[in-house]
Each structure stands twice: as C-alpha cells, then as structure tokens.
Chain A
Amino acid sequence: MLMNVLHFVISIWVPLVCALIIVAVLPLVAGYIVLMERKVMADMQARLGPMRVGPHGLLQPIADALKLLIKEDIIPDEADKVIFWFAPLISVTAAMLAMSALAIGPWFQIADLNVGLLFIVGISALGIFGIVLGGWSSNSHYSLLGALRSAAQLVSYETAAGMAIVGGLLLAGTLSTREIIQAQNDYGTWFAFAAPVGFFVYIVASIAETNRAPFDLPEAESELVAGYMTEYSGFRWALYFLAEYTNMVVVASIATTLFLGGWLRPFAGTPAFNFLDYLPSVLMLGVGGYCFYRAPKQPVKVQNLFMLAVGLLMILAAIILAAPLIPAVANLLPGLKPGLHGAFWFLLKVGLYIYLFMWLRFTFPRYRFDQLMRLGWQFLIPLSIVNVMGIGVALVLHRHWGWGHLPAFGLTTLLTLLVAGWLGWEEEKKDKEHVFVGEA
C-alpha cells in the first residue's frame, strides 16, 4: 500500500517538478546561452564582449531580462491585436513542450513517451505558427516577408531534418529517447559514425530550422530589419527570443540523443577510457580555479566576491560529480553515476553542438532565399532520402547477410557520399547556368 502511494507520488511529482524546473530555469539558460554567444562572438572578433554587469558580464542576461520586462509593450495601431498578443506564446509553448520528452540523463526526464522523438519533432514544428501569425498580424511588410520566408524555410528543412532523423530511427528501431540512447550503447558506437551523412544533413537542416545564420533569412537583420519580430518590443519580443534559443537547445538535444550517444560517455564500453570519468570533476575544478585566479583582478569588491562565489559553486559541482567515483558511495547509490555524469555528458554535447552553431554564424555570410531553397530541395532532401535507403541496405546486409558493422556501414556511407558528390557537382553546374542577370 505504502509502496503504491510512494510510487504514485513519484510518478506524478517528479515530472511535475521537472516541468516546473524547465519553465523556471529555461529562460535563465537561454539568457546565458545568449551571453555565451556574445562572448564567443567577441572572442572571434578580437573584442571582449559584455564586461560591465557582474564580473566578465556574468550578470548581463539578468540585466537584459529585467530591462525587457519593464519596457513599454508597443502594439501597432493597425495590428491584429489578439493574434499579435497570442503569437509569441505559441512559439514559446511549442518550444517548451518539446523539452518535455527529452531525456537529460537517465534521471531528468519529464515523460518517457514511446513516441518521444516524433512528439518532439511534431511539437517543435508547431512553433512556426507563432512566427507566421506574428508576422502576419503585425501588418508590416517586413514582418510579412519574414513570416513568409520562415514558413517556406521550415517546410523545406523540416523534410530534410525529418528524413535525417528517420535514418537514425532505422538504426535504433524505436522512437523513445531512452531506448535510442540504449540502442547506441548496444551498438557500441554513436549513430553519428554509423550514419555520418545523416548527421551532416541534420546539422545543416537544424541550423535552418532554428533560423540561425547562415540561414537566418526570416530575421535577416540587414535585409528585413528583424523579420517577423520587427514590430515586437519588450517582453513579447523576448518571448520570441526565448523560443528561438529554446529551439536551439531542442535541436541540439535531438542531435545529441540520436547521433551523439545522448548521455553516454565517449567510449562508454571501453575500460581503457575509464579515466574519462574524471573529466567532469577536472573540468569543473579547472573553471573554479580560473575563477579564483581572476577574482583578485576584479575592479570592485562586489565583483571580487561574486567571482569567488562562482568559483566555490564550481568546486562544489566538482565534488558532487566526483562523489559517484568513490566506491563506497557508488555501492550505496548505484544510480548516482549514470544520473549525474549522464546529465553532464548530455549537457556538454548540447553545449558543443550550440557552439558549432555559433561558430558557423560568425564565419559565414547569409544565403539568399532562392539559394537556400535550392540547397534544401535539390541537395539536402535527395541526399537525406538516399541516406535513409543506404542505412536500410546496410541494416539488411548486417542483419540478414551477416556482414560486420564496419563493411556494411562503410560501404553504404561511401555510396551515399558518392551521391552527395554527384549532387554537389550538379549544383555547381546549375549555379553557373543560374547566374542572375538583372532584367533591363
């Protein structure tokens, strides 16, 4: 009886608490991703980035959020007010709902749906309604063009991303996020290595899906001012921003789950690499040590203390992450290590994936709309379909004909790459024909 009650409480309250944490913490996380982006950008552009609010600008996201909260909320006279008011909510809700099926380590998951990945992809695709409605209801040409671009772009790239995901799903044989990661454990390799072409297609398509440069046409600053968000200000604008960054986390999480082994440690099955278990603690210790090193150099006493506090927090995290490595603790709580370290590895991979996004953003110019469409429909979609077929063939070779993993997947990957090369070559040829000549 008691067990039943306990079970009920756990089954209801754990997801509820997780959900609350996501809703409460996600804006903060998004804010800090923005800070990270600004810092990475500054680093690549030979600048310092935000340095004023808090030591090294560590409190900048909070200041930004506060500023946006108290800003006047302007709704254009000619706007369709109800939809204008409602549209950002759709985007944010869709993005946040998608988080619910993600498994951040074996401990942290709101709902382990058996159709997990399908749910995530479907729900996050709903976010486009927020963009299209917001752009339309603003009653501004910039917004409208941004919304139209966004709609076309999402439809095109969802297809490619979807097909890339199908490739991974064929390998896993399940849609549940947990089981997908389990399947990668059983394979002994991440699906990124079994289906590299699919992974590549997913990277490109996911950048386009989240409207990030070089595919940030819906909000292309230099062309459409701010695209669909042009007429938004204050916190409504911040909601769109929140949705965008949440979406980034979502696609990065999908990529991590499906292609990068989710919460699995790199070389999880190889005892020779067990020393990697110490990496989380060492990394945290390193960051903490750096904070201590920088603390005396802060200009103000408060910032000095703040830096010390951050350093202590990091060392605390290091100790917590080191705890499961002590045999006594491990025996007492066997779930501790996969739980904590899983979350660490998952977040690390998500972070690296987002870093890749940023890196690309600061390196590449922006595509033009017709080029974007051509890339999507004539290169990525055919390639992703060929990739699915290739994986199918490889699975047949492996399961029914008894080929090893390496020859089966190696052969099909090679063939897919050949197709990719051919498609790229055709593109190149068409590019030469397509040279735009202005009409007289």
Chain B
Amino acid sequence: MPDERIPFATHADQTVLGADEIILNMGPQHPSTHGVLRVKLRLDGEKVIGSECVIGYLHRGVEKIAEHRTYTQFAPYVDRMDYVAAVSNGLGYCEAVEKLLGAEAPPRARVIRTILTELQRIASHLFWLGTHALDIGALTPLFYCLREREEILKIFEKFCGARLTTHAFRIGGLQYEAYDELEKDVERFCTPFDKRVNEYESLLTENRIWVGRTKGIGILKAKEAIDYGASGPVLRASGVKWDIRKAMPYAAYDQYKFEIPTGKNGDTYDRYIVRMEEMRQSRLICLQAIENIPAGPIMGKVGKVLKPPPGEVYHAIEAPKGELGYYIVSDGTTQPYRVRIRPPSLINLEAFDKMIRGHLVADVVAIIGTLDIVLGEVDR
C-alpha cells in the first residue's frame, strides 16, 4: 500500500515534492496501461519512488446491475468483466448460482465446460503474452499469439456463435449441444500447439534483452504475495503451489492429470515462465478431456424460473488471471440481493506499488503487463 498519497502536480501541491522529483501521469490514455488504468508515478529522474493506481474509468456498476436482474438475465453481464476470458467468468457465475440452487450440471456439460474454459485460458494467456512482449518492445510475438488465439475464437464461434463475450454456459448446464466436430477442432488446435509455445519461447526465453528486462523486476516474495491476496500465476510464480482447480476442484477438473507450474523468485521472468507452462498444461487437459466426453443430457434440473432459497454462497474458480470468486446473497426472490465479485486483476493490482518501487519508468509497463490485468474486471 502507498504509505503517502501522491499529490496531483498542481502548484499548491508542488511543495511536497523534492527538488528533483516530478509526477508523471501514466494513463488513462496510454498505449500500454492495458485499457484505462491511470498510474500516478512519483519519479526521481527515471526512478520510481512512489506510485498510485487510479481506477474506475471503466466502472459500469456490474455488481449493482445484478441486483436488478434475474439470475439468468445477469449471466451475460459477467462476460463483460474480464472480456479477454469471458468463458471463465461465465463458468464461475453459473457454478455459483448452481451451488446456491443446490443443483448440479450433468457430467457431459461439465466436461464441455472444462474444455472451453481451458481453451479460454490458453487464449487469455496468448493475449497476455503478446501484449506483454509488445510492452517490453518485442513487436512480433503479438501477431503469432493472435494467430493462435484466432483458432480458439473460431471454436467458440462454432460452439455458441460469439467470439469474445460468449455467454457460452447456462445456469444448470449448457444451452447448446456441442457441435459435431468439436473434438476434432480442439484436437486440431491442441496437437501442434506445444510446438507453437516453443516457437514463442524461442523468441523470448533465452533472449538476453528479454531476460535483462524481466529477471529481478517486480519481485513478490511468497509471504508478500499471500499477504496481498494475490492469486493465479502471480501467486504461483512466487513459489506457492495454490491452484483452485486442484485445491477445490470444480467442473470436471478432478478427472484430469495436470501439473501446477510454480516459480522461485516471484519476478516478472518467473511469471512469464509459469504462464508459458500453464498453456502447455491447459493443452494437456483439453487433450485428455476430448478423449472421453460422456454422453447424456446437457442441462440439469433447475426449472424455468430460478428462485434460490434464501442464503449466501461463495464460489471461486481458477480464472486465467487468478481466483475469480462470486459471493451471492439470495433473499428468496428471482433477483439476487447482492452479488459481490472478487476480481483477480484488482487484487493482484494492489501489489503494484510494492513491486514498482525502486525500479525505472520502463519497468512500470513490464509490471503492469506481468500482472495481466484487464480493466473491465478491475473496475467492473
């Protein structure tokens, strides 16, 4: 947490700055703050001696909207939070409401959900890799990543007609039966994909400049990461082996074998390695899942009008960016009394100030990139 507030660079406040210090406003319109994040940086030359993130430029009141919609009506809204990983958002919400209803999705729906969510994880990580590399100055990986992401989006499009904000799942299961060639399409994407990941790695992993720009930058030790409540790859890169898919399995994750990659130093380089390895693991999960998709119905018994009993529920899933949690309070009507969303991006972003202090301006974009934030999710 910043221990002193950073003043605006107005004349009245200039007095609190040292003679060599300036305030640099990065964003909300800046090529590499991943949307509309605004970072106020206190600089001594190029060295960052303090920072403050200003958020809320993309606030749409998603949680408030939920209180005026039925459970079903609210489902598409969650896709607009982390719009780079809409499928994962939908999965979290649907499962949370199912938990509240005491219902369960049938096995076939769960496996298809798992496949699509893992594909979404790959897509999200690909987009992260491209933009992160672009921020650090490598122009080319972005286009290779988008090329592969396109294949995943095509699968989504075939499955549910949408590419970005998919609304792929329904509370209680799936609305759409999987199209005939889903397995084939997933296999066609997954089989060569590990070679593609190797290709990205050949551009970056051993590159001297890349290593210089990422090693030792934005270190978050395991204890600090836990204290900040960081989750997802940010937490795992610090050496904490915590993955909700293993710890509290949901969907169909308990049926598949996969590793949880962890880092050692908790720096930007480790987070990069962890995410690269996660893409490989997601690919393995997809390949395992398409081997045996159980037959059966795709929709559980939830009824036409959703009226959960009064009570509350917290359900978290491992979204590509970390722990995505939904806390839903029901008062027994068709509309939730309160929906609170725990967005991984926002919580991870809180470690930003800790990570950036003492580094240079150039590292600001490296650290924003490595946190993998999406402002739609930070601001909601």
Contacts and interface: CB of A to CB of B under 8 A. Distances in A.
Interface of A: 41, 44-47, 141-142, 145, 149, 213-214, 216-217, 220-225, 361-371, 431, 435-440
A46 B143 contact: yes
Contacts, number: 110
Nearest to A370: B360
A369 B147 contact: no
A362 B203 CA distance: 11
A363 B203 contact: yes
A366 B213 contact: yes
- Best-surrounded residue of B23, B136, B210, B218 (most CB of chain A within 10 A): B136
A439 B357 CA distance: 6
Q: 6 closest pairs, A vs B, by CB?
A: A366-B137, A439-B358, A435-B216, A45-B143, A222-B32, A365-B138
A365 B147 contact: no
A365 B143 contact: no
- Best-surrounded residue of A366, A367, A435, A440 (most CB of chain B within 10 A): A366
Given A431-B212, A436-B217, A437-B216, A214 B137 contact: yes
A424 to B, nearest CB: 10
Interface stretch (B182-190, B239-247, B286-294, B362-370): B362-370
Contact of B137 (A225, A364, A431): A364
A222 B215 contact: no
Interface in B106-139: 133-139
Interface in B11-57: 22-25, 30-32, 46
Given A438-B219, A440-B357, 10 more contacts: A141-B25, A216-B137, A217-B362, A225-B30, A365-B204, A369-B46, A371-B212, A435-B215, A436-B363, A440-B354
A149 B357 CA distance: 20
B346 to A, nearest CB: 21
21 contacts: A46-B147, A141-B25, A213-B137, A214-B137, A217-B362, A220-B362, A221-B32, A222-B137, A363-B203, A364-B209, A365-B138, A365-B207, A366-B213, A366-B362, A367-B209, A368-B362, A369-B362, A371-B209, A437-B219, A438-B354, A438-B355
Nearest to B32: A222
B39 to A, nearest CB: 12
A214 B209 contact: yes
Q: What size tier do the contact residues of chain B reach?
A: 35 or more
B143 A368 contact: no
B358 A436 contact: yes
B191 interface: no
Contact of A221 (B23, B31, B46, B363): B31
Contacts of B207: 364-365
A151 B223 CA distance: 42
Given A145-B46, A368-B362, A438 B215 contact: no
- Best-surrounded residue of A44, A46, A439 (most CB of chain B within 10 A): A439
Interface in B262-289: none
Interface in B174-228: 203-204, 207, 209-210, 212-213, 215-219
B138 A364 contact: yes
A142 to B, nearest CB: 8
B103 to A, nearest CB: 46
B138 A438 contact: no
Contacts of A41: 139
Given A362-B140, A365-B204, A141 B209 contact: no
Contacts of A371: 209, 212-213
- Best-surrounded residue of A216, A220, A370, A438 (most CB of chain B within 10 A): A438
B356 interface: yes
A438 B359 contact: yes
Contact of A368 (B135, B354, B360): B360
B144 interface: yes
Contacts of A368: 212-213, 360, 362-363
Contact of A223 (B147, B203, B354, B364): B364
Given A364-B137, A438-B218, A223 B361 contact: yes
Nearest to B137: A366
Given A222-B32, A436-B217, A438-B356, A365 B137 contact: yes
A47 B204 CA distance: 21
Contacts of B355: 438
Given A365-B133, A370-B360, A437-B219, A141 B140 contact: no
Contacts of A46: 143-144, 147
Contacts of A142: 24
Nearest to A217: B362
B357 A438 contact: yes
Contacts of B217: 436
A223 B362 contact: yes
- Best-surrounded residue of B203, B210, B356, B361 (most CB of chain A within 10 A): B361
Contacts of B147: 46
Contacts of A220: 137, 362
Nearest to A428: B208
Contacts of B359: 436, 438
A217 B363 CA distance: 13
Contacts of B136: 222, 365-366
A41 B213 CA distance: 23
A299 B265 CA distance: 56
B70 to A, nearest CB: 43
Contact of A45 (B25, B140, B213, B363): B140
Given A365-B210, A437-B219, A145 B137 contact: no
Interface string B334-363: 000000000000000000001111111111
- Best-surrounded residue of A45, A142, A365 (most CB of chain B within 10 A): A365
A193 to B, nearest CB: 26
A44 B138 CA distance: 12
Contacts of B354: 438, 440
A440 B203 CA distance: 33
B134 A45 contact: no
A132 to B, nearest CB: 16
Nearest to B144: A46
B15 to A, nearest CB: 18
A44 B140 contact: yes
A366 B209 contact: yes
- Best-surrounded residue of B46, B134, B219 (most CB of chain A within 10 A): B46
Contacts of A439: 357-358
A45 to B, nearest CB: 4
- Best-surrounded residue of B25, B210, B356, B365 (most CB of chain A within 10 A): B365
Contact of A369 (B24, B144, B203, B360): B360
